[in-house]
Amino acid sequence: MALEFTLHTDGAHFLGVAEPYLFRNEAENSLTLGVAATLASNSSSDHLWVTVAYKGEVIATAFHTPPYNVVLTGDSDEAVDLMARRMHNAGTTPPGVLGPSRLASRFATNWAELTGGTIGRGMAQRIYRLEKVMPPASTAGELRPAVSDDLDLLASWLDAFIEETGIPNPSTGRQMAGSGIDEKRIFVWDNGGPVSTALWNRPTQTGVTINAVYTPGNERSRGYASACVAALSQRMLDEGHAFCCLYTDLSNRIANDIYMSIGYKPVCDVDEYLFS
């Protein structure tokens, strides 16, 4: 099987080659599509954008933007083997890999053999997609865009979110909240004051991602997260997006149940492996 490995100069060049392939499963590939679009003109030497093609057709992709994991997608074991070898040769040093379960495991095994290191299981995740909101039970409060007066509170919430999820993030909670407020991407469920938050991010051709869903401990189990995510998802659909998607931690049964109850349907499972 003669495979063609290509290392692209930036996200824009990568998308020019990979977009048709990635759009076949837009929700599954929303992370790749969204990050590549966001960094389209960034040609940092630290970033790697990779495609593997067979007979001129892309069959797998990967990217690495430090300090995050390698993110991969594809449908070929041979392509994953090739990407691991060539990315290792390029000198990249990711903390781990995230991708569809079988392929992530294969990449991690290759990486351990190439580096002489060890691998450990990270977070088992699931990607969900929603095209129609199933409204939750009526909950006191309403969705509204976050404003500058919310900055201090949301900064503390997002710092807690980063700590609780363990997801590497070069931004602080204050930076995330500040940019979210300025760009009108972060929302709160307000019941006499903010009680839950969520934001939209990484728009793709027809979809958008919902993430950073957080309710502080003293406000949990009151339906606020369900109401917040359902209302924000409906807002995104009303604004013209064909679907919303999100990632969940599979070990968090409550969160998975919440999302499914408001209309999110499983797309695929993705696994994280950590390198040391």
In three-state secondary structure terms, 34 is helix
Q: How far apart are CA 77 and CA 243, in angstroms?
A: 30
Q: Which pLDDT score is estimated for 245?
A: 98
Q: Which pLDDT score is estimated for 211?
A: 95
Q: Which pLDDT score is estimated for 242?
A: 98
Q: Which pLDDT score is estimated for 44?
A: 75
Question: Whole-model pTM?
Answer: 0.93
Q: Where are the domains of the chain?
A: 3-126, 132-241
Amino acid at 211: N
Flag whether pLDDT at 106 surpasses 90.
yes
Flag whether pLDDT at 169 surpasses 80.
no
CA angle 198, 229, 40 (to 5 degrees): 55
- Which DSSP symbol is given to 218? G
**pLDDT single digits (tens) 180-197:** 999 999 999 999 999 999
Q: Which pLDDT score is estimated for 264?
A: 98
Query: Which band of pLDDT confidence, cut at 50, 70 and 90, is reported for residue 105?
Result: very high
- Return the CATH architecture of domain 3-126: 3-Layer(aba) Sandwich (3.40)
Flag whether pLDDT at 20 surpasses 90.
yes
- Mean pLDDT, residues 150-171 taken together: 90
Using an 8 Å Cβ cutoff, are 245 and 209 in contact? yes
Q: How far apart are CA 31 and CA 57, in angstroms?
A: 21
- Mean pLDDT, residues 209-214 taken together: 96
pLDDT, averaged across the chain: 95
- Return the CATH architecture of domain 132-241: 3-Layer(aba) Sandwich (3.40)
Q: What is the dihedral of CA 183, 22, 97, 56, to 10 degrees?
A: -140
Q: Which pLDDT score is estimated for 248?
A: 95
Output the CA–CA distances (angstroms, integers) from residue 44 to 5, 51, 84, 123, in the order listed.
20, 17, 20, 28
- Mean pLDDT, residues 86-99 taken together: 95
Q: What's the N-to-C CA distance of the chain in angstroms?
A: 32
Distance of CA 8 to the CA centre of its chain: 21
88's CB contacts (< 8 A; 6+ apart) are 111, 114, 115
Flag whether pLDDT at 43 surpasses 80.
no
Flag whether pLDDT at 1 surpasses 70.
no
Using an 8 Å Cβ cutoff, are 46 and 14 in contact? no
Q: Which pLDDT score is estimated for 132?
A: 98
